[in-house]
Chain A
Amino acid sequence: MLDKVAEQVKPFDPVIVGFTCNWCSYRAADSAGMARIKYAPNVRLIRLMCSGRWDPQFVLKAFAEGADGVLISGCHPGDCHYLEQNYKTIRRYELLKQTLASLGIEDGRVKLVWASAAEGAILAEEIDHMVAEVRALGPLNWGGNHGA
């Protein structure tokens, strides 16, 4: 009984899936680790070669599987390891936001973040911000509704 009460009082802890590119943002996570920067544990990173490989269907999949938010990250525009592919990511991201809006999914649940290999501190900070934002939004429960 007491346990149940404690459970209710406990703040909601969101789960966020993060997509990183191999060259900048995944290495930013490496740098954050090397610098022992502490940040919110709620993000699970998935490595792609380039943010250009990131596909809007991954976001829908993550939401359907129970994620409360999705972070997309890559090299800064102009710094792409594959020259210019992250500009395509920007375009896809804008399109995705429209799709999500029409599905009634709040804006704050997806976020595009640029972090160079040296910017572990920036990635950590962005993760902290996003976790706080999604926590304020509350659980998404999209998977539950759609029974994926």
Chain B
Amino acid sequence: MIPANSDDVRIGVYVCQCGSNIGSVVDCEGVAAWAGENLPHVAVARENKFMCSSLGQEMIEKDIRELGLNRVVVAACSPHLHEATFRGACQRAGLNPFLFDMVSIREQVSWVNTDKGIATEKAKALISGGVRRVAHNEPLDPITVKIDPNVLVVGGGIAGIQAALEIADAGYHVYLVEREPSLGGHMAQFDKTFPTLDCSACILTPKMFTAGNHKNITLLTYSEVEKVDGYIGNFTVRIRQKARKLNTATCTGCGLCEEKCPKKVIDDVFEAGLGYRKAIYRPFPQAVPKYPVIDTENCTYFQRGTCKVCQKFCPTGAIDFGQEDEVLTVNVGNIILATGFDLFDCRRIPQYGYGRLANVFTSLEFERLSNAAGPTGGKVVLRDGVSVPQTVCIVHCAGSRDRNYNKYCSAICCMQSLKFAHLVKERTGARVYNCYIDIRTPAKAYDEFYQHIIEEGIIFVRGKVAEVTDAVRLAGEEGKLIVQVEDTLVGKQRRIPVDMVILSAGLEPRYDAKEVGKLFGISCSMDGWFIERHPKLDPVATMTDGIFIAGSCQGPKDIPAAVAQGAAAAARVQGLISRREITLEPVRAQVDEAKCSGCRICNTMCPFNAISFRADPTRPGGGVTEINPALCQGCGTCVAACPAGAIRGTHFTDEQIMAQIEGVLLRNPAREHAVEKEAVYA
């Protein structure tokens, strides 16, 4: 290797204009000329309209070959965008890719400044840091790791089912973990799905069944992931399978226990509180797997010690009150999270009356009400269970596009509200109002669906509903719910008396999304959705290699989009599996045994258990520290902790960082300190 202070270091500096993104704010030509004249070891400095274009990359390759460059710095966008691109160019020209460094003068300079002079000076300082750092870069060899072909999918909604099936069909093994007793997610609760109005169960049940019986899928329902260790290709996952209190090997799923159980419980999950289930139950008849679970918190036997009716009636003796949770550990190479969404709690908008006014319903309640397998057998009736509504108002955007609740659009509620309008009309013949802020129907066949609903005679009122009340003010309002809304198209306040109000509640991140994210090492956006690696170009990958996201855990979306993401995540994982091994950044900690004093200060620093201590009585400290490169993730915490300077953090060595500090502060040995200051502070 060529030492950094050697005359043999030859650095190429390339300043990108990024069209006008950088060029209109930073004087790129001036910066390049300045770098060429003032920065040490710079053999060539150029600027270009688009460094990432093939012309830009070829320029670097040509310079490496013809000018004998052995270090390269590109000042352009963020390294998170194009570091890989330029490393590739270096490699093609025979230069080790770790002898390259990138300086962000777009995200950190031209996009956040307007003053040309100031921006240009900041760009110079950052480039100076990059140039001085790169002089100390060392050639490194990437680390290769094998990819375990097994995959974990967390969440058995439509997105997770799709992902699991794609991977299992490709011949790889999938562990599909679902928290509830059955697969299905929200889709299992619906009667019809927009825009085609095909029956939800008819299209979902076969997929659930296939996933539940696939030879390549280990289905773990009523289960949750407790711990995740490792990294891409090599995760170790601990899963707790909650005790169903029955033996699935003997249970035939006949349902006799459910029928005979004397304990009725309000079903807050599947029936959205509208119906009942038993203490031993399956959420719905087509549940996959077919086995019930005993809800011990409500079971009379578990609470009072007597009952055992289910055990008496079970023809196969499958009930096992003493059964314990099972904890299993599996190894997988990749993980897909498809944990879905929670419905916005409409009680948070007190003026809409949900929870106080009986005939205000949430969207999920209406799904159950209109479902042929639901508590009313699909009859749309009021809370009394018998009266058929004559007038119904559907309130769009409940909790969405609202500064006080969620600012974002929940994406599915317009179409879902139009679907409801159709179902109410079809089932009851009622007069139906839809109060909306905007109608958003951008996907394939969606606007046609809207036009069709208009033709059905649904009344559309453009305005955000202010209040739902039962306080009568005018004749004809007695015994009704009154919807107060400003009709913004005619510019007047309206009071619409109706029998039933349906609130199209927004979609929210799962209540525990943050904890789940933390468990798998990924982050959530400000709104709480899992963050994708890139909002446009990498929608199902995350910042953590080997962890993918699919469906509505990433943001509100409808079934087609959730399915597409499930398939996309599966394709990404299959791509990794078929490569068999991948390369990782060679950023690792290394101990210089000669320098280690055996103080053991670093020994408590590593959360990945990469650091161990080898006793050696011949050494002054009684031993020496060792770091396992396969376990080290390269954070560098132990490097900073070692008082003897015995640990090196590759690609982030003290020399590189110190040089970068000097560089960004523009200390130039060739010039006087005072001159330097002028350049910085000017």
Q: How far is the CB of B227 from chain A (nearest CB, A)?
A: 12
Kindly list chain A residues whose C-beta atoms are within 8 Å of the C-beta of B80.
26-27, 30
Q: Is the pair B649, A53 in contact by a Cβ cutoff of 8 Å?
A: yes
Kindly list chain A residues whose C-beta atoms are within 8 Å of the C-beta of B673.
143-144
Q: Is the pair B112, A32 in contact by a Cβ cutoff of 8 Å?
A: yes
| B641 beta carbon closer than 8 Å to chain A | yes
Partner of A44, one of B122, B526, B635: B122
| B428 beta carbon closer than 8 Å to chain A | no
Separation of A52 and B605 alpha carbons in the complex (Å): 9
Separation of A124 and B111 alpha carbons in the complex (Å): 12
| B607 beta carbon closer than 8 Å to chain A | yes
Kindly list chain B residues whose C-beta atoms are within 8 Å of the C-beta of A15.
665, 680-681
Given contacts A24-B523, A65-B667, A117-B531, contact A33 B107 (CB under 8 A): yes
Q: Is the pair B662, A65 in contact by a Cβ cutoff of 8 Å?
A: yes
Partner of A17, one of B524, B543, B665: B665
Q: Beta-carbon contacts of A101-143 to B below 8 Å, as 1s and 0s?
A: 0000000000000001111000010000000000000000001
Kindly list chain B residues whose C-beta atoms are within 8 Å of the C-beta of A66.
665, 667, 676-677, 680
Q: Is the pair A81, B661 in contact by a Cβ cutoff of 8 Å?
A: no
Separation of A85 and B634 alpha carbons in the complex (Å): 11
Partner of B635, one of A38, A39, A50, A117: A50
Q: Give the residues from 3 to 19 in chain A that come closer than 8 angstroms, CB to CB, to chain B.
A: 12-13, 15, 17
Separation of A45 and B125 alpha carbons in the complex (Å): 10
Kindly list chain B residues whose C-beta atoms are within 8 Å of the C-beta of A2.
none
Q: How far is the CB of A62 from chain B (nearest CB, A)?
A: 5
Partner of B106, one of A33, A49, A117: A33
Q: Is the pair B129, A46 in contact by a Cβ cutoff of 8 Å?
A: yes
Q: Beta-carbon contacts of B528-567 to A below 8 Å, as 1s and 0s?
A: 0001000000000001100000000000000000000000
Q: Is the pair B667, A61 in contact by a Cβ cutoff of 8 Å?
A: no
Q: Is the pair B107, A50 in contact by a Cβ cutoff of 8 Å?
A: no
Closest residue of chain A to B682 (Cβ to Cβ) is A13
Q: Is the pair B660, A46 in contact by a Cβ cutoff of 8 Å?
A: yes
Q: Beta-carbon contacts of B599-640 to A below 8 Å, as 1s and 0s?
A: 000000101100000000000000000000000011111011
Q: Which 3 A-B pairs have the closest CB atoms?
A: A33-B107, A53-B636, A52-B637
Q: Pull 30 A–B residue pairs with CB atoms less than 8 Å apart, ordered by A.
A: A24-B523, A27-B543, A29-B107, A30-B80, A33-B78, A33-B111, A34-B107, A41-B113, A41-B121, A41-B122, A45-B108, A46-B657, A49-B587, A49-B634, A49-B636, A49-B649, A50-B635, A52-B637, A52-B640, A61-B658, A65-B661, A65-B667, A66-B665, A67-B665, A81-B544, A81-B635, A82-B635, A92-B640, A143-B673, A144-B673
